[in-house]
Amino acid sequence: MTYLQLFGVSIPTLWIAILATAFLLSIKLDDWFSNALFIYIIVWKFSYIFRWESIWGLLYFNGGIKGHWLGLISAGIYMILFAAKKYPSIKEQVSLSILLYMYTFEAIFNVLQLDFLFAAIQGAIACLILSLRKKLTWQWILLFFTIELLTLSLQHTLTLTKLFTFSTLLFILFIIKERKNG
């Protein structure tokens, strides 16, 4: 993992990419997106409680891979059961937001890793997704999902965690879009 030094503090570039992407997308989306992201981060960060040894560990450590899955499932449950009823716009925004999150995150992360070729590829695909935002059918969604997996495998960064995370996001997207009543 690569770290960035800011004011004497080492911050993982992964965290910077996650927060930068979340900030960029939350500007244009309704509150459901920032609420789901907040739920994910809180559950992921504080799932460390289940194996903590000191109070200082809560400030520095995160919940690891188990916390990631707990956070993703918690955010998914929020989006499917609660956000879909409160924010009717979620059905229109969810496809675009999940695809843009995947590609924008990878573009920012690649810039932070100084891998400008793949950052440009990911950024160009994100622009293409934006240009097709009114025409995002299931065929387009699956095509962009497959292109993302292909790009990650060419980069040698496709891990089981990324594959299952993106698949889980696709599954959540499917449930939200196909539900009849909120």
Contact 140, 132 (CB under 8 A): yes
Statement: residue 102 has pLDDT above 80: yes
Buried b / exposed e across 101-133, counting CB within 10 Å, b at 16+? bbbbbbbbbbbbbebeebbebbbebbeebeeee
Residue positions counted in the chain: 182
Q: Residue 51 gets which letter from DSSP?
A: G
Q: Identify the residue with better confidence: 49 or 103.
A: 103
Q: Is the pLDDT of residue 181 over 60?
A: no
Rounded to an integer, the average pLDDT of 87-93 is 82
Single-letter amino acid code for the residue at 132: L
Q: Which residues pair with 6 in a beta bridge?
A: 9
Percent of the chain with pLDDT over 70: 89
Per-residue pLDDT tens digits for 21-71: 888 887 777 888 889 988 988 888 787 666 656 665 555 566 678 888 888
- Per-residue pLDDT at 77: 93
